[in-house]
């Protein structure tokens, strides 16, 4: 007699909008097409796999969660030694415990939903002998092999909304406002939200800024009668002077800085250079919260159902992605091998320049 198909679900790393929609897509498609499927949801990311803490999921668990933010399974971060191991705080290898849970549950596949780091750690699970399918989730949109990730558009919408609201107070008080958005070391989120909200200057990691040129752009606006300015700043933005430093030099400079984030440093420097009152808004984790936008609900559902089909076809060691509007499967080795930074010749950067947005480099 053929045994039941057994699938585990993991949501790992930082949360974002669309995780529950993706969980729902995987579960509903498996129940639709796979007889006698059993699904196990691991609590709190890899922690559930390590500690054997999981939930046997029934059909009703996948209903009513499409519009919910966060993840019904919970999530956590684990220490990851690139290309080598997943470890605890003492440096102990956690792979044996994870393999034990995987084998004890007799899983046919583990579906791992996560960002850039999770793709890398999932590759280690695959190398250790687990059948792995991954889904790309992150507001940073920095995962190689897919045009976009779920959570990204929702964060763009939120970032745009924040800057939209800042416009009125910036105008009323003739101030310069810096709005610092997430994205880690990639500028996708800040570029898209900056264009959508009509930011005057956009500072992203891929284009190091010159603070004097940023100040000159503000002065040019003031001379033309525009008494306020909006600067969209990526959290990973870097000055041209810092860009030539080594990673260790940058780390030390950051530790010694009196400013909590890059935006506060830029604001302080601009006030000194221009004399114009400058304020900073950092929406922070607000960008990762709340319900997914309709686009992310659809995309996460597409990704989830595609993962179910990969499982049915025993196509493991793969990540689901989207390219040119088509759902694709990407070798996990490729997805985990590199980060998708924003190309400096990306068409959207030229679009921004065409309408007069400055990037602090000219």
Domain boundaries, the chain: 6-150+292-335, 155-288
List 278's β-bridge partners, or say none.
176
- What rounded mean pLDDT belongs to the chain? 94
Query: What confidence tens digit (pLDDT) does each residue in 115-132 have?
Result: 999 999 999 999 999 999
Total-model pTM: 0.94
What is the pLDDT confidence band of residue 1, given thresholds at 50, 70 and 90?
very low
Average pLDDT over residues 187-210: 98
Task: Give the pLDDT confidence score for residue 170 in this predicted structure.
Answer: 85
- Cα 33–Cα 34–Cα 36 angle in degrees, nearest 5: 140
Average pLDDT over residues 28-46: 96
Q: Spot the catalytic one: 15, 140, 200, 296.
A: 140
Is 6-150+292-335's fold the same as 155-288's? yes
Name, in order, each residue with C-beta under 8 angstroms of 58's C-beta and a sequence gap of 6 or more. Answer: none
Name, in order, each residue with C-beta under 8 angstroms of 85's C-beta and a sequence gap of 6 or more. Answer: 93, 94, 95, 124
Residue 140 annotated as catalytic: yes
What is the pLDDT confidence band of residue 253, given thresholds at 50, 70 and 90?
confident
List 329's β-bridge partners, or say none.
320
Q: Is the dihedral of CA 183, 260, 265, 178 positive or negative?
A: positive
Reading phi first (left if > 0) and then psi (alpha if -120 to 50, else beta), residue 36 is in: left
Q: What is the DSSP letter of 59?
A: G
Sheet holding 201-203, edge to edge: 201-203, 229-234, 176-181, 278-281
Say if CB 157 and CB 293 are below 8 A apart: yes
Write down the residue that tokens 């990969």 correspond to.
310
Q: Is the dihedral of CA 61, 304, 299, 166 positive or negative?
A: positive
Average pLDDT over residues 194-204: 98
Dihedral angle computed from the Cα positions of residues 186, 293, 17 and 329, in that order, rounded to the nearest 10 degrees: -70
Q: Is the pLDDT of residue 180 over 80?
A: yes
Say if CB 153 and CB 322 are below 8 A apart: no
- Domain 155-288, what fold? Rossmann fold (3.40.50)
Q: Is the pLDDT of residue 2 over 90?
A: no
Q: What is the architecture of the domain spanning 6-150+292-335?
A: 3-Layer(aba) Sandwich (3.40)
Q: Is the pLDDT of residue 312 over 90?
A: yes
Closest alpha carbon to 13 in 77, 82, 84: 77
List 93's β-bridge partners, or say none.
87
What is the pLDDT confidence band of residue 245, given thresholds at 50, 70 and 90?
confident
């Amino acid at each position: 007699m053929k045994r039941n198909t057994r699938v585990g679900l993991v949501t790992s790393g930082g949360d974002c909008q669309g995780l529950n929609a993706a969980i729902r897509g995987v579960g509903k498609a498996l129940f639709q097409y796979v007889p006698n499927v059993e699904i196990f949801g691991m609590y709190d990311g890899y922690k559930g796999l390590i500690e054997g803490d999981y939930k046997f999921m029934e059909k009703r668990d996948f209903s009513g969660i499409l519009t919910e933010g966060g993840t019904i399974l919970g999530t956590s971060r684990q220490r990851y030694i690139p290309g080598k191991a997943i470890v605890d705080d003492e440096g102990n290898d956690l792979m044996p415990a994870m393999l034990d849970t995987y084998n004890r549950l007799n899983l046919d596949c583990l579906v791992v939903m996560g960002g850039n780091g999770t793709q890398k750690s999932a590759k280690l699970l695959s190398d250790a002998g687990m059948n792995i399918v991954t889904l790309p989730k992150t507001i940073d949109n920095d995962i190689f092999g897919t045009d976009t990730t779920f959570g990204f558009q929702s964060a763009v919408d939120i970032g745009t909304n924040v800057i939209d609201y800042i416009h009125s107070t910036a105008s009323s008080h003739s101030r310069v406002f810096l709005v610092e958005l997430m994205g880690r070391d990639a500028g996708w989120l800040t570029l898209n939200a900056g264009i959508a909200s009509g930011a005057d200057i956009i500072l992203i990691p891929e284009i190091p800024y010159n603070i004097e040129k940023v100040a000159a752009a503000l002065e040019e606006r003031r001379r033309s009668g525009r008494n306020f300015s909006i600067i969209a700043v990526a959290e990973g933005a870097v000055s041209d002077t810092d860009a030539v430093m080594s990673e260790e030099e940058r780390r030390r400079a950051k530790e010694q800085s009196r400013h909590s984030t890059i935006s506060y440093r830029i604001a302080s420097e601009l006030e000194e250079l221009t004399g114009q009152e400058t304020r900073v808004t950092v929406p922070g984790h607000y960008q990762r919260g709340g319900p997914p936008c309709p686009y992310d609900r659809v995309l996460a559902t597409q990704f989830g159902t595609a993962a179910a089909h990969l499982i049915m076809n025993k196509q493991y060691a793969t990540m689901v992605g989207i390219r040119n509007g088509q759902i694709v499967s990407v070798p996990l080795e490729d997805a985990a091998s590199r980060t998708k930074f924003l190309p400096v010749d990306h068409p959207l950067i030229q679009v921004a320049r065409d309408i007069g947005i400055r990037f602090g480099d000219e």
